Amino acid sequence: MTYCVAVRPDAGLVFLSDSRTNAGVDQISTFRKMTVFEHPGERVMVLMTAGNLAISQAVRSLLTEGVDDARNLWTVSSMFEAAQVVGEAVRAVYQREADTLREHDVHFNISLILGGQIGTERCRLFQIYSAGNFIEATDENVYFQIGESKYGKPILDRVLDRHISLDAAAKCALVSMDSTLRSNISVGLPLDLLVYEANSLHVTRFASLDEHNQYFRMLSRSWSERLRDAFEHMPDPTWVPVEGEEAPITRVTANHEAELAVRATSSARQDSGRIQTLAEGLPQKTPS
Task: Pick out residues in 23-82 that bind a copy of itself (CB under 8 A).
Answer: 31-40, 60, 64, 74
Site string for a copy of itself, 239-258 (x = CB under 8 A): x----------x-xxx--xx
Binder of a copy of itself out of 151, 177, 187, 188 (CB under 8 A) = 151
265 binds a copy of itself (CB under 8 A): yes
203 binds a copy of itself (CB under 8 A): yes
194 binds a copy of itself (CB under 8 A): yes
104 binds a copy of itself (CB under 8 A): no
Omega before residue 154 within 30° of 0, cis: no
286 binds a copy of itself (CB under 8 A): no
What 3-state DSSP class applies to 154?
helix
Binder of a copy of itself out of 80, 108, 129, 223 (CB under 8 A) = 223
One-letter identity of residue 284:
Q
192 binds a copy of itself (CB under 8 A): yes
Instruction: State the number of binding residues for a copy of itself (CB under 8 A).
Output: 93
Neighbouring C-beta atoms of residue 163, cutoff 10 Å: 11
Pick the stretch among 75-83, 85-93, 130-138, 167-175 that binds a copy of itself (CB under 8 A): 167-175
172 binds a copy of itself (CB under 8 A): yes
* Closest to 144 (Cα-Cα) out of 181, 173, 174: 173
Binder of a copy of itself out of 24, 103, 158, 211 (CB under 8 A) = 158
* Closest to 48 (Cα-Cα) out of 93, 94, 17, 81: 17
Evaluate whether 249 touches 207 at the Cβ level (below 8 Å): no
**CA pair distance 227, 253, nearest whole angstrom:** 23
Omega before residue 190 within 30° of 0, cis: yes
* Closest CB 135 distance from a copy of itself, rounded Å: 17
10 binds a copy of itself (CB under 8 A): no
Of 140 and 236, nearer to a copy of itself (C-beta) is: 236
106 to 135, contacts with a copy of itself by CB under 8 A?
Answer: none
189 binds a copy of itself (CB under 8 A): no
Q: What is the DSSP string of 28-89?
A: EEE---EEEEEETTTEEEEEEEEE-HHHHHHHHHHHHTS--SSSSTTT-SSHHHHHHHHHHH
One-letter identity of residue 61:
S
